[in-house]
């Protein structure tokens, strides 16, 4: 049965409620004329109760029968008549629906509320309609990010509340090759256009600033091309930026004096430092001051190292730390002295409302370089934000703009071993206390410290196959057991499960495509379109 409205297909009836509970979900007997093969987990559905509508997600699809003898002695369904008699009556499909929201008669007054009861027996279950999707997730306007559409409902946009999205840290997760970076570009582009926040993007693979070629060899625009007046590109490798035919707004250089023992601690995993060596670096900093690293690296003999350490450290520990830190000499951006203060310059741009993309160029596959730079700059920027926010509370200055810091390979910064040495774990736990939140992009959420991951308010999750990753990303989420199957069955490309602070209920979406159509929705035209529009305007002017 399918209801229609003119020529536009309406909601499709799926079946009726047979049993269930608020905690375990609702069982739905599928109508005989509905093909179970066309029903997928993750689909958004509406249950029409006596006085309320319930909105939920299909979390399981099963086969059922009324008589156990059917399983032991299956009927001969090669006979069309027998197949028609049995199907939908003695043997039928069954859906399991997890209800999340309910809507009473007073739509205008209350809007959707969390489901605190269940629909009655035999309540009608159908696909949701676009108006219901809009009622729940909002419209494509200045207060929302259009992220995609529910499965099998391309005409219905699912939107994220920008204010709620940016109130707390955000996570974009998914295994390699699922399109995390494209999804992140959509979120960041919408934030640049609409949100009253600024972002600092540590762009490991040079994907977000200027254009680059995708896996399909098509050119993909960067944020700088979409919003040239709102985005600045900083780089660690000016030659790489120029090699792409682009230019940088600022070339980043960092003095050795700014590297702390805690920064070295953040490199423990990638440099193979043990806890004793990390503690040694921190003691050397306390003993030698700001120039500890340059002094230590310039020391050649074990005897001299022991002398620097005051004779209190084990020679083998000193030698091992010295050998492992020699890798820092390969980083051209580390200088004995620098002509400018990178952190001060970044904050100047952020204060003007300009988003900053930091490209790593030739260091794109160098995790030690990425972790060192991202942690060091974030630590110093966070310190400045704490000072300025506390000064504003004392009416001694204005609050800084709310800042979102985007990092890739987040588990390298936020593992239980490394997190205590980084500013990122502190920021995640502070929940915007000092106007700084995170956007973490990662393929291994199970590698992130559980406490830190629990502070991520909104999660946009593409396909994950590892059980530990699925368990980690769903930890603490209501209905996590039911959502596990949904998450594990996502398609490899352009599907995501979204849940958390920015949406009123979990939803599976087919994500938007980051292409010319998306650029046009932002008001950005390519050269051909711009010339065509200019020609048309000229013709109309002289008509």
Instruction: Check pLDDT > 60 for residue 6.
Output: no
Helix, strand, coil percentages for the chain (3-state, nearest 5): 40, 25, 35
CA distances from 427 to 21, 378, 423, 430 (A): 39, 10, 6, 5
Q: Tell me, what's the pLDDT at 474?
A: 96
Mean pLDDT throughout 489-495?
94
Largest CA distance in the chain: 94
Mean pLDDT throughout 33-58?
94
Query: Given pLDDT bands bounded at 50, 70 and 90, which one contains residue 46?
Result: very high
Q: Tell me, what's the pLDDT at 517?
A: 92
Q: Tell me, what's the pLDDT at 146?
A: 96
Q: What is the number of helices (H) and of strands (E) in the chain?
A: 23, 24
Residue with tokens 């999750």: 461
Q: What is the pLDDT of residues 102-135, one digit of tens each?
A: 998 665 556 799 999 999 999 999 999 999 999 9
Mean pLDDT throughout 328-354?
95
Q: What is the pLDDT of residues 313-324, one digit of tens each?
A: 778 888 999 999
Asked which of 6-10, 109-113, 172-176, 241-245 is least confident by mean pLDDT, the reply is: 6-10
Mean pLDDT throughout 369-391?
95
DSSP for 259-295, please give it.
Answer: --HHHHHHTHHHHT--HHHHHHHHHHHHHH-TTHHHH
**According to CATH, what is the number of the domain 159-251+339-512?**
3.40.50.300
- The helix (H) or strand (E) run that includes residue 11 is strand 8-21
Instruction: Check pLDDT > 70 for residue 472.
Output: yes
Q: Tell me, what's the pLDDT at 218?
A: 79
Instruction: Check pLDDT > 50 for residue 204.
Output: yes
Is the whole-model pTM more than 0.85? yes
Which residue in 424, 324, 332 sits closest to 374, CA to CA?
A: 424
Distance from C-alpha of 144 to C-alpha of 141, rounded to nearest angstrom: 6
Hey, which of 241-250, 300-309, 526-535 has the most confident mean pLDDT? 241-250
Instruction: Check pLDDT > 80 for residue 434.
Output: yes
Mean pLDDT throughout 196-212?
92
Query: Given pLDDT bands bounded at 50, 70 and 90, which one contains residue 65?
Result: confident
Instruction: Check pLDDT > 80 for residue 166.
Output: yes
Q: Tell me, what's the pLDDT at 508?
A: 96
Structural domain boundaries of the chain? 2-128, 159-251+339-512, 257-330
**DSSP helix/strand/coil, 495:** strand
Q: What is the pLDDT of residues 343-366, one digit of tens each?
A: 999 999 999 999 999 999 999 999
Instruction: Check pLDDT > 50 for residue 240.
Output: yes
Instruction: Check pLDDT > 80 for residue 383.
Output: yes
Asked which of 307-316, 418-427, 453-462 is least confident by mean pLDDT, the reply is: 307-316
Mean pLDDT throughout 70-91?
69
Distance from C-alpha of 10 to C-alpha of 77, rounded to nearest angstrom: 32
Instruction: Check pLDDT > 50 for residue 282.
Output: yes
Mean pLDDT throughout 22-34?
93
Q: Tell me, what's the pLDDT at 197?
A: 95
CA distances from 506 to 58, 96, 482 (A): 11, 15, 11
Instruction: Check pLDDT > 90 for residue 7.
Output: no
How deeply is 154 buried, as exposed, middle or buried, from its count of CB atoms within 10 A (0-12, 13-18, 19+)? Answer: exposed
Mean pLDDT throughout 436-444?
96
Q: Tell me, what's the pLDDT at 11?
A: 87
Q: Tell me, what's the pLDDT at 17?
A: 98
- What's the 3-state SS for 136-167? HHCCCCCCEEEEEEECCCCCCCEEEEHHHHHH
243-273 burial, b for 16+ CB within 10 Å, e for fewer?
A: eeebebbbebbbbbbbbbbbbbbbbbbbbeb
Average pLDDT value for the chain: 89
Sign of CA dihedral 128, 131, 136, 141: positive
Distance from C-alpha of 222 to C-alpha of 191, rounded to nearest angstrom: 14
Q: Tell me, what's the pLDDT at 8?
A: 46
Q: Look at 171 and 309; give whichever has higher pLDDT.
A: 171
Distance from C-alpha of 188 to C-alpha of 180, rounded to nearest angstrom: 12
For the CA atoms of the chain, what is the radius of gyration?
Answer: 28
Ramachandran region of residue 395, left (φ > 0), alpha (ψ -120 to 50) or beta?
left
Q: Tell me, what's the pLDDT at 4?
A: 42
Mean pLDDT throughout 207-225?
83
């Amino acid at each position: 049965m399918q209801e229609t409205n003119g020529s536009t297909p309406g909601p499709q009836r799926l079946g009726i409620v047979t049993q269930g509970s608020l905690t375990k979900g609702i069982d739905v007997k599928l109508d005989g004329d509905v093909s179970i093969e066309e029903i997928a987990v993750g689909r958004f559905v509406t249950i029409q109760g006596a006085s309320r509508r319930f909105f939920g997600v299909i979390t399981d699809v099963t086969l059922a029968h009324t008589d156990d003898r059917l399983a032991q002695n299956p009927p001969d369904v090669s006979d069309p008549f027998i197949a028609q008699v049995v199907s939908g009556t003695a043997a039928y499909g069954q859906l399991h629906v997890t209800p999340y929201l309910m809507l009473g008669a007073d739509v205008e007054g209350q809007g959707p509320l969390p489901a605190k009861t269940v629909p009655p027996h035999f309540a009608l279950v159908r696909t949701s309609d676009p108006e219901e999707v809009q009622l729940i997730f909002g419209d494509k306007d200045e207060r929302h990010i259009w992220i995609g559409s529910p499965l099998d409902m391309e005409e219905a946009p699912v939107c994220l509340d920008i204010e709620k999205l940016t109130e707390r840290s955000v996570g974009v997760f998914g295994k390699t090759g699922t399109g995390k970076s494209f999804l992140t570009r959509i979120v960041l582009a919408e934030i640049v256009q609409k949100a009253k926040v600024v972002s600092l993007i540590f762009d490991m693979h040079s994907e977000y600033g200027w254009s680059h070629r995708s896996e399909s060899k098509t050119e993909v625009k960067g944020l700088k091309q979409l919003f040239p007046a709102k985005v600045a590109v900083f780089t660690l490798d000016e030659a790489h930026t120029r090699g792409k035919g682009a230019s940088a707004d600022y070339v980043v250089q960092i003095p050795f004096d700014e590297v702390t023992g805690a920064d070295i601690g953040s490199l423990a995993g990638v440099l193979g430092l043990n806890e004793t060596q990390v503690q040694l670096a921190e003691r050397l900093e306390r003993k030698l001051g700001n120039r500890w690293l340059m002094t230590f690296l310039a020391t050649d003999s074990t005897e001299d190292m022991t002398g620097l350490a005051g004779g209190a450290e084990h020679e083998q520990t000193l030698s091992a730390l010295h050998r492992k830190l020699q890798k820092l000499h390969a980083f051209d951006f580390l200088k004995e002295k620098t002509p400018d203060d990178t952190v001060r310059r970044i904050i100047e741009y952020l204060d003007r409302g300009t988003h900053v993309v930091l490209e790593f160029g030739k260091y794109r596959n160098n995790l030690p370089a990425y972790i060192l730079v991202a942690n060091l700059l974030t630590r110093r920027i966070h310190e400045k934000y704490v000072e300025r926010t506390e000064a504003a509370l004392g009416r001694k200055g204005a609050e800084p703009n709310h800042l979102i810091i985007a990092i890739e390979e987040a588990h390298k910064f936020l593992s239980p071993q490394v997190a205590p040495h980084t500013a990122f774990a502190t920021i995640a736990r502070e929940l915007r206390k000092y106007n700084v939140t995170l956007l973490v992009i990662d393929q291994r959420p199970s590698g992130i410290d559980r406490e830190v991951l629990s502070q991520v308010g909104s999660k946009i999750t593409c396909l994950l196959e590892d059980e530990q990753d699925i368990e980690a990303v769903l930890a603490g989420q209501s209905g996590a057991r039911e959502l596990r199957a949904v998450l594990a069955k996502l398609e490899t490309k352009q599907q995501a499960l979204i849940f958390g602070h920015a949406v009123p209920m979990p939803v599976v979406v087919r994500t938007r495509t980051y292409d010319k159509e998306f650029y046009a929705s932002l008001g950005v035209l390519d050269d051909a379109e711009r010339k065509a529009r200019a020609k048309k305007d000229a013709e109309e002017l002289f008509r």
